[in-house]
Amino acid sequence: MKRTYKCAWVFVVDTNQYARNFERQMGAYLTGRVWKYFPGISKVLAALYKQETGDLCATLFISILGRHESDGKRWPNYTDSWDTPGWLKESRANHLSAEDRIEYRKRADERLYKCPAGMSVAIAFTERPTSEQIKLLEKRAKGFPKAVRKAMKEAKTLPWHIRSGRNIYFTGPIPRITGTRLLRRDGDRYVEVAY
């Protein structure tokens, strides 16, 4: 799918896992805003945001939140998965780092697909977040794994998934946060900006 994002700024949280499994939940925990379709555990994580920050109406980011509008995506949203530098997916959808790719090529007959690994979560903004907002996003991103564990206990479910009705809203192991970045749109691409 070709991505043509229209947001001016993107705050990216790099993780060690495929981000489509938890992008909306992380967005709810970082900003307090719940995606209107299939909210699931996002409601619990947004409630934790309100409780921990004191921003009871989740208005801190509302004026600058943007939307990712990619070709073929049915519902535009302020969160999305994002390409993770130094990582690719191979034909069986395994994620490989630069070191793993060398070993993989030595052992396997298959070729790597030139497909970036979407192991990062991106939050769209229409304008640059303030330094206080960026600090809050960073702090909350680092606390996301602990918050997911807390939310799962609150939801009284098994530790590896959360169910709402017949739909699963959090699957797989809890991700580990490996870093954060701020990107600015420059024409058709995004460039990293120091903050």
- Residues 135, 186 within the same domain: yes
Domain match, 78 and 93 both: no
76 and 127 fall within a common domain? yes
Distance in angstroms (rounded) separating the CA atoms of residues 149 and 177: 14
Domain of residue 101: give its range. 89-117
Contacts of 111 (CB under 8 A, 6+ apart): 91
- Is the same domain home to 188 and 147? yes
Whether 107 and 174 map to the same domain: the answer is: no
Q: Are residues 146 and 54 in the same domain?
A: yes
- The pLDDT score that the predictor gives to residue 168 is 43
CA distance 11 to 180: 7
Alpha helix (H) ranges present in 4-120?
23-31, 42-53, 98-107
Return the number of other C-beta atoms located less than 10 Å from residue 183's C-beta: 20
Tell whether 127 is covered by a domain. yes
**One domain for residues 77 and 145:** yes
User: 2 in a domain, yes or no?
Assistant: no
Say how many domains are in the chain.
Answer: 2
**Residue-by-residue pLDDT tens, the chain, 195 positions:** 345 556 789 999 999 888 888 888 898 899 988 876 656 677 788 888 888 998 877 788 877 887 765 545 545 578 888 888 877 666 555 666 666 655 555 555 455 555 677 889 999 898 999 999 999 999 999 999 999 888 877 766 544 444 444 334 555 688 999 999 999 998 888 899 998
